[in-house]
Structure 1
Amino acid sequence: MTGGMGGGLFGPKARSPAELVRHTRDLLRFIADHPEPCSGKLEAKREQKITDLSISVRAMKSILYGDGDGDPVAEACTQLTREFFKDNTLRLVIVCVPHMDLETQKEVTLVFANLARQKVDSRIPASDYLEVNQDLLDILMAGFNNRDIAIHYSTILRDCVRHQVAARYVLYSQHMKKFFDYIQFPDFSPSSEAFKTFKELLTRHKSSAAEFFTKNYDWFFSDFHTKLLHSSNYVTKRQSIQLLGDILLERTNSSVMLRYVSSKENLIVLMNLLRVTRHFIILMLE
């Protein structure tokens, strides 16, 4: 059996990993073509497709992570990965996430997290796919504006920017400036997700981040100061101080650090922030 996709003794033959992906892709195409509730028999068909999709996603997860009866099989993972990135399965997944139930949304992010790291013939298919489908990153970034899908889109986005080609695209896009607004959302969940993704972009790929800071020094640190370090939200302020420290103390950012600390105004800001942070810590301990 492949992830529980087969029938009983006289049931249908179990699908291979590649067949499972093709079946999943067909389900996604139907849901993408019928995103909203329909009427009559078409709605019944749509609901069945959504149910079947949940089963298929669970089966892919079982192949990639293993199940209670055994560990994942390398060849099965390779077959699944090769087929998944052969066609626009990821695009369909992203488009259909808003129409999945909560459990399937969680499982599909786990499936992609695994696929994003898989190697096939010494290459990473996810990286190659994202290099020619960078518009998907725009769709994922727009997800921060939708509280219902923000956590799922941001999770997928973070797995995308593990690949330098995707991270560089976001770093040099108009989206970087939007992070300062997303992080200040009043709702904790999308705000927290935005900060985690923001930090990933600025710390994972050292050389790309250093180049970004050098080329965007003025506006970036200006916005970082005014919108994050001076945020009225204590959690945002404290996380931002820690992130700033991580940025400045990173060896590849040595030239940026020298430029930063050469400013008397920056040093005053840091001293004031450290004083405020220490005050809050003392109050919390009392």
Structure 2
Amino acid sequence: MKGLFKTKPRTPLEIVRICRDLLSKFDMNNIRENKRQEKMTELSKLIREMKCILYGNSEAEPVPDACMKLTQEFFKENTFRLLVNCLPKLNLEARKDATQIVANLQRQQVRCRLIASDYLEANKDLMDILIAGYENTDIALHYGSMLRECIRHQVVAKYILESQHLKKFFTLIQLPNFDIAADAAATFKELLTRHKSTVAEFLSANYDWFFADYNSKLLESSNYITRRQAVKLLGDMLLDRSNAVTMIKYVSSRDNLRILMNLLREPSKSIQIEAFHVFKLCAANQNKPADIANILVANKSKLLRLLGDLKTDRVDEKFDEDKTQVMQEIASLEHRELA
């Protein structure tokens, strides 16, 4: 007899709708204090159920049809916005589950289309909320993780790159809270490396202010970790073929060469090696301006000595080949008259 009264499992649509209703009430503070904990427990359970549908569990793999229906319902109305707005009110486990749900939904296809991208294109202001979340230590890492998942969509990355938000990252990645700073650095890197054509267009259109800030605030920062991350990211950007025009412009600047030469003299071997990967572009450029060539000539003996002592911790034939080529190039340079 007991089996006759089993509760019928809720469908993905029902779970999302009930969850949305509860989130609406929390968002508007429409829950009496004596009922708040009870409703929060219910909401946390619903969020966990959504996560299980999307990820499966120890007993079953995710069911594609259930995932599709959940995704459709989730993006049909304002569930995403409510979840983001209410995240600070959730307990830690529910926040973790919600973050994983958002990550999964960015990849879910409905009839061969990522409907998350369409939703975010119409709700770009959600990125404003997520970026502002870095200022709240309780939710910064959750919002940061959500933000990176949303950047998977080119329309989101383009929006952030073209907004004033990008300038905030120069400060965020140097926050005293190491975990938040590292998370912001990961987001900054994602913005500047994931979508090649968008990044190339942005760097070309914003070269002057972007690299002026990049040099002064990051490459010349007093923070060792900031300098190390910045020179590594600089190499990732300039060595990407899609950024060839920006690369030529960067390595043709005497101010940029000065910064790179200073980084080559850093006590940190990791910074020296990362700086070398950018410096070699200046030295190996067969069309280098005369003032660049003359700076290299004026510092020839110091550079050759410094590069001769530069070694990686493990065998790296490509690095050794590049270093030999750069040293030969510098050794063969002669002073040139400026045009």
TM-score (norm 1): 0.91
Aligned length: 272
1:215 correspondence with 2:205:
yes
Q: Kindly report which structure 2 residues correspond to 1:75-224, keeping only aligned pairs within 5 A, or say none.
A: 75-224=65-214
Cα distance in structure 1, aligned partners of 2:269 and 2:3: 64
Pairing 1:17–2:18 present: no
1:279, 1:55 → 2: CA distance?
Answer: 46
The partner residue of 2:223 within 221, 233, 245 is 233
Q: Is the 8 A contact 1:34 1:46 kept in 2?
A: no
Q: CA deviation at 1:274?
A: 2.7
Distance 1:45 1:14 in 2: 24
- Cα deviation, 1:109-163, whole Å, max 9, x if unaligned, reads 1011001110001111100000100111111111111111111111111111110
Q: Which has the higher contact order (CA 8 A, sep 6+)?
A: 1
Q: Deviations over 1:76-134 (max 9, x none)?
A: 10010010000100000000000011111111110110011100011111000001001
Please point out which of 29, 40, 50 is paired with 2:40: 50
Which structure: larger Rg? 2
* CA RMSD between the two structures: 1.8
**CA distance in 2 between partners of 1:257 and 1:280 (Å):** 19
| Residues in 1 aligned to 2:110 and 2:91: alpha-carbon distance in whole angstroms | 31
- CA change 1:9–1:256 in 2 (3 A) is farther
The code of the aligned residue for 1:186 comes to P
5+ long unaligned stretches in structure 2: 273-309, 314-339
Gaps of 5+ in 1: 1-6
Conserved 8 A contact 1:31-1:49: no
The amino acid of 1:230's aligned partner reads E
> Kindly, what percent of the aligned residue pairs are identical?
54
Please list every run of at least 4 consecutive aligned residues from structure 1 whose deviation after the TM superposition is greater than 6 angstroms: 279-282
Contact 1:160 1:166 (C-alpha < 8 Å) held by counterparts: yes
Cα deviation, residue 8, structure 1:
7.6
2:331 alignment counterpart: none
Instruction: State the TM-score, normalizing by the size of structure 2.
Output: 0.77
